[in-house]
Amino acid sequence: MTAARKAYRASIIHSIGDPAEVGLEASYEYFEDGLLVVTDGQIESVGDAGILLAHLPHGTEVVEYDDALLMPGFIDTHIHYPQTGMIASYGEQLLDWLNNYTFPAEKAFSDPAHADEVAEIFLNELLRNGTTTALVFGTVHKASVDAFFSAADKRNLRMIAGKVLMDRNAPDYLTDTAESGYRDSRELIERWHGKGRLHYAVTPRFAPTSSDEQLAAAGQLLQEYEGLYMHTHLSENRDEVEWVKSLFPQCSGYLDVYDHFNLLSERSVFAHGIHLCDDECKRLAETGSAVAFCPTSNLFLGSGLFNLPKMEQHKVHVGLGTDVGAGTSFSILQTLNEAYKVMQLQGAKLNPFKSLYLATLGGARALRLDDRIGSFASGNDADFVVLDYNATQLMQYRMQQAKTLDEKLFVLMMLGDDRTVRETFAAGQSVHRRG
């Protein structure tokens, strides 16, 4: 059988390194007139169209995009699919927001039909925004994760998700037990982990809502299965941090609670990490754990400002998260817009090439998936987006004044959103086309 080969011609960019490590110029590859060759859902090659076209087998279909920038699909390292319907809920900071809005919204996922419906809406929204991989919270209900994974599997997406573990300090209608949470997680792992492009994440909500027994059971699951993720929240809000200290007086701090139960690893992703001390950053780096930077959420809930330079100093892996529904947009472009402002408020800059890295390869590295996604390395999954430089009248006008690549990228990141995403591809298949 001949290979299913197709080529895409546009301006093409992808990250190949962290600007903090290799410098800006060595952090990306850019082809003004580029060609991406995709075979059987994987990247075959990327380069200058002038060179690659000459070597394409006769008859290969070439799709051309004008005024467009083609890049790897965005990676969202922290998001809650059950919170899609309560995004933009007014007035509270974290703990009241959870009690007043989040828990009641998550209650509805005891109904599998509701979970199916929201999973579809959620995936449509991700793909409309150019996000091809996400690390996703379900609810405490096993059925919520079945609904999510089966919807993602049908579209052949690379997704990571898990059932929330929560056996205390939450309404009765939303709690499991250490035993049932362990059992349900095992069942889901057996059913979904490694199926197609799916991965399972052991998902204790956060330290305050799990007993010692439940956190120990989470650690046990990570021991029992290869390649599982651990996904939770960490040091988001000052009242939350104080609460954790009072609940776990024997631990030296918030991160130490997770450490105590062996939950720090190369596949551990902690959302937020705003109020961390140097020792905690050091420990994250030592264990290869990652932090998800969620600027729209951190500003929306008034949680604080994420210190990216400090994470860079400690060499902690950082990805970008929308954290919908505390986050206010599914768009990674809008998330970069807010990330830039969070840095400004701390007297720092967020260069557009660093932004590109965070949105793609940096996220892939945080998820230990950089051998599959996040760049156009040969053999990677063909998950990519085509962005429209002229998506809106304002963007079109502004782009006329933009002289350099970094200027154009920056405008995309400040003014771009779902309207900017012309087409999204997953494993070489078109999964969203605008309009």
Taking alpha carbons only, the member of 92, 90, 89, 159 closest to residue 119 is 159
Q: Is 243 exposed, middle or buried (0-12, 13-18, 19+ CB in 10 A)?
A: middle
Burial 260-272 (b: 16+ CB within 10 A, else e): bbbbbbebbbbbb
Q: Which is nearer to ligand GUN, 205 or 283 (CB)?
A: 205
User: Which of ligand GUN, Zn ion, none does 199 bind, CB closer than 5 to 8 A by kind?
Assistant: none
DSSP 301-353: TT-----HHHHHHHT-EEEE---TTTSS-S-HHHHHHHHHHHHHTTT----HH
**E-only strand ranges, 20-81:** 28-39, 42-48, 61-72, 74-80
Q: Give the pairing type, strands 131-137 and 74-80.
A: parallel
User: Which of ligand GUN, Zn ion, none does 27 bind, CB closer than 5 to 8 A by kind?
Assistant: none
Give min distance, CB of 90 to ligand GUN, in A.
Answer: 15
Give min distance, CB of 79 to Zn ion, in A.
Answer: 7
The verdict on 205 binding ligand GUN (CB under 6 A) reads: yes
The verdict on 102 binding ligand GUN (CB under 6 A) reads: yes
Taking alpha carbons only, the member of 434, 370, 343, 426 closest to residue 157 is 426
The verdict on 80 binding ligand GUN (CB under 6 A) reads: yes
The verdict on 94 binding ligand GUN (CB under 6 A) reads: yes
CA distance 53 to 406: 27
* Contact partners, residue 410, CB within 8 Å, separation at least 6: 352
Q: Which stretch binds ligand GUN (CB under 6 A): 8-16, 94-102, 185-193, 214-222?
A: 94-102
Pick from 123, 257, 290, 326 the residue near ligand GUN by CB under 6 A.
326
In the stretch 284-303, what mask flags binding to ligand GUN with x, by CB under 6 A? -------------x------
Q: Total binding residues for ligand GUN by CB under 6 A?
A: 11
Cross-strand bridge partners of residue 43: 38
Give min distance, CB of 208 to ligand GUN, in A.
Answer: 8
Q: Total binding residues for Zn ion by CB under 5 A?
A: 2
Q: Which is nearer to ligand GUN, 301 or 311 (CB)?
A: 301
Give start and end residues of each alpha helix (H) in 74-227.
Answer: 94-97, 103-107, 112-128, 142-154, 178-192, 212-224
Q: Is the dihedral of CA 110, 111, 116, 121 positive or negative?
A: negative
The verdict on 206 binding ligand GUN (CB under 6 A) reads: yes
Taking alpha carbons only, the member of 153, 162, 181 closest to residue 80 is 162
161 to 190, contacts with ligand GUN by CB under 6 A? none
Q: Which is nearer to Zn ion, 18 or 323 (CB)?
A: 323
Q: Which is nearer to ligand GUN, 328 or 375 (CB)?
A: 328
User: Which of Zn ion, ligand GUN, none does 206 bind, CB closer than 5 to 8 A by kind?
Assistant: ligand GUN
Roughly what angle, to the nearest 10 degrees, separates helices 332-344 and 352-359?
130
The verdict on 98 binding ligand GUN (CB under 6 A) reads: yes
CA distance 277 to 241: 12
CA distance 239 to 77: 24
The 3-state DSSP class for residue 415 equals helix
Give min distance, CB of 271 to ligand GUN, in A.
Answer: 7
Give min distance, CB of 102 to ligand GUN, in A.
Answer: 5
The verdict on 338 binding ligand GUN (CB under 6 A) reads: no
The verdict on 324 binding ligand GUN (CB under 6 A) reads: no
C-alpha dist (Å) from residue 177 to 103, 169, 213, 261, 377: 17, 12, 9, 17, 44
Pick from 125, 167, 323, 370 the residue near Zn ion by CB under 5 A.
323
Give min distance, CB of 91 to ligand GUN, in A.
Answer: 15
In the stretch 235-274, what mask flags binding to Zn ion with x, by CB under 5 A? ------------------------------------x---
The verdict on 84 binding ligand GUN (CB under 6 A) reads: no
231 to 270, contacts with ligand GUN by CB under 6 A? 233, 236
The verdict on 283 binding ligand GUN (CB under 6 A) reads: no
Residues that bind ligand GUN (CB under 6 A): 80, 94, 98, 102, 205-206, 233, 236, 297, 323, 326
Which residue ranges make up the site for Zn ion (CB under 5 A)?
271, 323
